[in-house]
Structure 1
Amino acid sequence: MRWLTVLFLVQLCMGQELQLTLEEAREMALRNHPALAALDASAQAATETSKQIRSALSPQLSGGLTASAADDNSRLGIGGLVSSLLISRVGAGVQLSQLLSDFGRTRLQADAALTRATAQREGVKSARLQILAAVDRGYYSLLRARALTQVAEQTVKARQLIVDQVSALAQSQLRSQLDVSFAKVNLSDAQILLSRAQNEIDSSTADLTAALGTRERQTITIDDRPLNEQLPPDAEVLVAKAIEERPELLQFKLEVQAASQVLASEKVLNRPTVSLLGTVGVLPWSQGAYPIHYGAAGINVSVPIFNGHLFEARQREAVLRVRALEKQREDQANRIARDVRTYYLNARNAFERLRLNNELVAQAKLSLELAQSRYELGLGSIVELSQAQLSETAAEVASASARYEYQILRSALRYQIGEGTL
């Protein structure tokens, strides 16, 4: 909606924090992205090409005014096949030409141009899918970075507490400085993790900002998304849907149709062209005894006889272009089928990892609690505690990443099948 765009621009100008839901981000990207606007303008411009070609089927009327001065009794010495008589005169009139028949060549070329314009509109739809996929990827990546930052902050806080405890025990001669060093190493590792997570927030924000179609640096606040746990039981249904609905394949289909129309027009190049010609006008002044009014009409028939096998070469070129486009469409269909199957398998695997990672987090937390209890009782070493801390952090990071990785892959799969419903 228009008010979303206005609100977005106002917040940019005022430097305020931008709050977006995923649906608002998608709509904003479609309204603001310059690449989509450029492709849409190009598609509209391509529609005018058909009108330009089809104009040759309409009457061509033009007016003119001619004035000339010539020597008495002069003749043309060189020039075209026109009257050799030169006279001084002033004349004005109009000329009319109308194509009567070219055996459908002009109409077929206009139809081909219109079909290509329709194909370009399918290209706009393809770009729309890519932009929406980029928005979803940036949105979920930012959510993942935010979750990783929360994990890192909790890890730093927990390990700082361990460092403080071990340092106090070392001062009381109950623990060695080696234990303090191990605890500080683990703390530094957590701080590095936090730094990387904060950098990922900035990077994901930049990606999302670019996907929204702006270059202004902006702080973006987004809402978490519920996890959609439903996936089709089989990828082949999605493959069939993608082959039917993906705009790239529809674009290739239209390009093949346009090339076939061009081929049909090339096949009648050796047919005659019949045109009607007419002219009327006045000679308000002329040298000699000439009538004041003039007019003429005629029919012109142009028959190609020989042009160095030009038409044959153009027909062969058109045939080969049709064949090339058909093979390109077949190759694109193979690629789409592969991509749909790949994204489906990756999304299904990511969903399976969600459950496994949750179990891993639960076991890692239990191991950390036991290791910390053993260490406090003097039954375990700092190495055992450090290993438990690392395992728990790795499990938390994997769990946070898996959730949003699944959503990213599921979103990508949605656009792989042409923005269908999953």
Structure 2
Amino acid sequence: MRYLVRRPLCTLVLFIAAAVWVIPFPASAQAQRDRLRTDKSGQIQGQFLGLKQAVELALEKHPLLQAANANRKAAEARTEQTRSLYYPQIYANFATASGVAGINPRFVTPAGSMVRQNLSQYTGGVIASQRLYDFGFTRDLVESSDLAARAFEQDVNAQRALVIVNVQRAYLNSLKQRRLVAIAEDTVRERGVIRSQVETLYRQQLKSKLDLDLVEVELTNAEAALVRARNNLKASFAELNRAMGIAGPDDYVLEDVPIEVIQQQPLDTLIASSLSHPELKRAQEQARSAEAKLRATRKQYLPTINAVASAGDFQTFDTDRAERTGGWWAASAVLSFPLFTGFLIENQVREASAQQIAAEATVSNIEQALTQQVTNAYLDTVTFAQQIKLAEEQVKTAQEALQLARQRYKLGLGSIVEVTQSEVALTGAQTRLAEAQYDYKIAEVTLAYAAGTLSIPDTLSVPPGMAP
């Protein structure tokens, strides 16, 4: 008889516990505040910024590109300065003198006394010189300057590619941080609901204070993780502004970028493609420029032939003296041969030779660096692609484990520890999946940059959910 009474009573208690778990109870004040913050953060706030829009803004505003373009123009001007040696150099001169034109030392007292009155003399003319032949010195010097200017053109392309990849990586990192904020907000919301349910069960003396304390601890951990995630999101926006080279706002509404694992080209093909990287082309042009400069420097040992011509007029304004005045002209050819320059040419040759060696070493170093970057980025894409598959399986398993733990807790077959551990496992799996997905996309962009195939992304610069 006692057994028959106790069994219905236990059944009734389990039924009430299950009903309490299923029926949504009002959340606590803290959970409601968290939910309010979550709803507000889910709204569209800040200025919308699409990926293509961010790249275009960086290409227009970034100081690195402005400096690179200015250096390119300066290099082009230096080339024209060197090319001026092909043209005649013409100068106009004008001189005047007033005073005693001369003295007569034959007069003893006083010595050097004046023998004539002051004179005013004026002369003016034009002198022109033209380099006729210098054994290719000017040609090699112009070639060196022209190759240096082309190197700065490649530097503009290299800086452009660097700006594009930095903006894309910063943008993807902001998307990752935004996804982590969403996961943290969902975790706080879910744990707030569980806390309210367990608190209600505790007040009805159906659960222990230990269960409520454990849920409180996990809720506090989730709130702390949410604070860190939101701060990281703010920091990622600051990094994005820095990548664009602007002082932009601290909040953006970003567009979603599709994350799709694709089959990459073979590693050997990607490494061969990296040989067209603008940074490598810049180094190659600089090496050729250094080689041409070395040839020009060595030709300074050879003679130079110049033609010089001058013409002018001379006038003396003296009413008491009749001096011969009038125009004049002269023409000559000059052969200049360096006999001794204080070891100037020798050290210039040494400098140019050392610069050529350094330029060639820079080319080899960049080739090796690009090969390493391509290899590392390729392996990163492979690694993150595999991690995405594993993380997807982990999320699925963690979701099933959480559902099972909740059912066991409802029926009194499990503890709250199982539920909290399952929630922690699910949050960790979702976090790893989000990180793997966006890290894969960042590695994909980095691989395109290292392989020299990076371009402006073709995405819609409109807010999510709106028609273009």
Q: TM-score normalized by structure 2?
A: 0.81
Q: Does 1:261 align with 2:295?
A: no
Q: RMSD in angstroms over aligned alpha carbons?
A: 2.0
C-alpha displacement at 1:20, in angstroms? 2.6
Match in the other structure for 1:306: 340
| 1:225 Cα offset (Å) | 1.2
* Equivalent in the alignment of 1:81: none
Amino acid at match of 1:367: A
On the 8 A contact 2:234/2:251 being kept in 1, the answer is no
Identical counterparts, % of pairs: 31
Report Cα offsets for 1:223-251 as digits up to 9, x if no partner: 11112322325212111110x21111111
2:456 matched to 1:418? no
2:171–2:240 contact (8 Å) kept in structure 1: yes
The aligned counterpart of 1:334 is 368
Alpha-carbon distance in structure 1 between the residues aligned to 2:363 and 2:185: 50
Question: 1:401 and 1:281 mapped to 2: Cα distance?
Answer: 81
Confirm whether residue 281 of structure 1 aligns to residue 312 of structure 2. Answer: yes
1:174 aligns with 2:177: no
The code of the aligned residue for 1:224 comes to D
Matches within 5 A, 1:400-415: 400-415=434-449
For residues 117-196 of structure 1, the aligned pairs below 5 Å read 117-196=149-228
CA distance in 1, matches of 2:434, 2:354: 53
Tell me how far 1:37 sits from its aligned partner. 1.1
Show the counterpart of 2:81.
52
Match of 2:232 in 1: 200
Relative to 1, partners in 2 of residues 1:114 and 1:151: Cα closer, same or farther, differing over 3 Å? same
Aligned 8 A contact 1:139 1:208 in 2: yes
Give the residue type in structure 1 aligned to 2:328.
Y
Partner of 2:301: 270
Once the 2 structures are TM-superposed, how far is the Cα of residue 317 of structure 1 from its aligned partner?
Answer: 2.6
- Tell me how far apart the structure 2 counterparts of residues 301 and 381 of structure 1 sit (CA, whole Å): 103
TM superposition shift of 1:295:
1.0
| One-letter amino acid of the structure 2 residue matched with residue 318 of structure 1 | A
Residue 42 of structure 1 deviates from its aligned partner by 1.3
Partners of 1:18 and 1:113 in 2: how far apart? Answer: 46
CA distance in 2, matches of 1:315, 1:168: 89
2:70 is the alignment partner of 1:33: no
SS in 2 for 1:207: helix
Which of 223, 239, 243 is matched with 2:271 structurally?
Answer: 239
Residues 364-396 of structure 1 deviation map (CA, whole Å, 9 limit, x = unaligned)? 010011111111111111222221111011011
Distance 1:241 1:233 in 2: 10
How far residue 199 of structure 1 moved from its aligned partner, in angstroms, is 1.1
**3-state DSSP class of the match of 2:299?**
coil
How far 1:138 sits from its partner (Å)?
A: 1.4
Match for residue 367 of structure 1 among 401, 405, 408: 401
- Relative distance call for 1:270 and 1:416 in structure 2 (3 A) is same
Distance 1:187 1:92 in 2: 95
Deviation at 1:19, TM superposition (A): 1.9
Aligned residues: 396
User: What one-letter code is carried by the residue in structure 2 that aligns with 1:264?
Assistant: R
For 1:420 and 1:153, the matched residues in 2 are separated by 35
C-alpha offsets along residues 22-81 of structure 1, whole Å, 9 cap, x if unaligned? 122111110111221121111111110011121122111121211113534359xxxxxx
1:213 Cα offset (Å)? 2.1
Kept after mapping to 2: 8 A contact 1:357/1:398 = yes
> Which 10-residue stretch deviates more, 337-346 or 28-37?
28-37
CA distance in 1, matches of 2:340, 2:241: 61
1:173–1:108 distance in 2 versus 1, CA, 3 Å = same
Structure 1: give runs of 5+ residues left out of the alignment.
Answer: 1-15, 76-86
**1:11 equivalent in structure 2:** none
Output the CA distance in 2 between the equivalents of 1:331 and 1:408.
24
User: Equivalent of 1:212, from 235, 240, 244?
Assistant: 244
Q: Secondary structure in 2 aligned to 1:306?
A: coil
Match of residue 114, structure 1, among 146, 163, 171: 146
1:297 is aligned, of 331, 352, 356, to 331
Q: Which has the larger radius of gyration?
A: 2
Distance (whole Å) between structure 2 residues aligned to residue 20 and residue 309 of structure 1: 61
Q: Tell me the amino acid that sits aligned with residue 336 of structure 1.
A: L
Q: Deviations 1:317-369 (Å, cap 9, x if unpaired)? A: 32222122112211111111011100110111111111111110000010011
SS in 2 for 1:69: strand
Unaligned 5+ runs, structure 2: 1-44, 105-118, 458-468
Report what 2:110 is aligned to.
none
Distance 1:420 1:210, change over 3 A: closer
Tell me the amino acid that sits aligned with residue 56 of structure 2: E
Shift of 1:305: 1.1
Does the CA contact (< 8 Å) of 1:231 and 1:348 recur in 2?
no
Which position in structure 1 is the counterpart of 2:426? 392
Determine the C-alpha separation between the residues in 2 that align with 1:231 and 1:319.
Answer: 46
Equivalent pair of 2:65/2:156 in contact (CA under 8 Å): yes
SS at the partner of 2:302? coil
